Amino acid sequence: MGEDRKTWEKKQRESRIIDKAQDIFFKNGYEFTTIIEIAKASGYNKRSIYLYFKDKEDIFLAVVLRGLTQLYKRLETAAKDPTIQSLGRAFFDFSLDHPDYLKLIMVYEANTCVYNPGGLKNADPESYKYLCQQETDAMADLMTRLIAAGIEKKRIKTNLEPAPLMLLLWGQVFGVMQIILMRQAHFQETYGISYEELFANFMDMVGRALSSGGPSQLHTI
């Protein structure tokens, strides 16, 4: 009973540190956040923080994991009725609901994520780095399987294999959402179209380009 209590208390302290760190990372970004700031906001000293986390990156990845988990859940739900539009809409909604998570995920993908198979095979399976990689790999696998099914059913017309096509689509959607989030204010008056309409038109163009003339339905797993 005593050990269970200690474990619970440790998890509570870790969660508090992550909560406070999340606010700071959202405000300052990764580069301009310090361990000292996180410790002060959490009510601990710097030494105490190191009892729970290896370094600043470890805390950062704990925050990123929250965002990746929410994004994966959105995509997984959309995959129950997998069209290009529904999957794109899931990413669109997540990005607008959680723009700060999206920014941190982009930093993670640019600096920490491992893209070669088995790149983290020797990592601690309980580490935040490993858990983030698991979520990232799960999203890539989900999208790749849906694309492969669409190609097999001849609902997607492409010369690419599923994995590189997934990468291309992932990059396109990320790029469009970056533009929308950067220019979100006064979008309608500046461009004569709402950002919702712009994204819908973008997804329609992608769906038409990938389809063989029919609807852009992929396949239900």
Read out DSSP for 89-156? HHHHHHHHH-HHHHHHHHHHHHHT---STTTTTTS-TTSHHHHHHHHHHHHHHHHHHHHHHHHHTTSS
Per-residue pLDDT tens over the stretch 58-116:
999 999 999 999 999 999 999 998 888 889 999 999 999 999 999 999 999 999 999 88
For residue 43, is it within any domain? Answer: yes
Residue 121: per-residue pLDDT: 75
Task: Kindly state the average pLDDT of the residues 182-192.
Answer: 96
Query: Total structural domains in the chain?
Result: 2
Q: Is 216 within the bounds of a domain?
A: no
Which residue range(s) make up the domain with 16? 1-53
Same domain, 35 and 127: no
For residues 48 and 137, state if they share a domain. Answer: no
Residue 8 belongs to domain with CATH number? 1.10.10.60
- Which of 38, 53, 68 corresponds to the end of one domain? 53
Residue 2's pLDDT band (boundaries 50, 70, 90)?
low
Q: How many residues does the chain have?
A: 221
Closest to 102 measured CA to CA, from 94, 113, 114, 110: 94
**Nearest of 159, 20, 145 to residue 76 by alpha carbon:** 145
Do 40 and 110 belong together in one domain? no
The pTM of the full predicted model, rounded to 2 decimals, is: 0.90
My answer on whether 72 and 177 are in the same domain is yes
pLDDT band at 19 (very low <50, low <70, confident <90, very high): very high
91 shares its domain with 150: yes
| Mean predicted confidence (pLDDT) in 162-178 | 95
Same domain, 34 and 83: no
Residue 219 lies in a domain: no
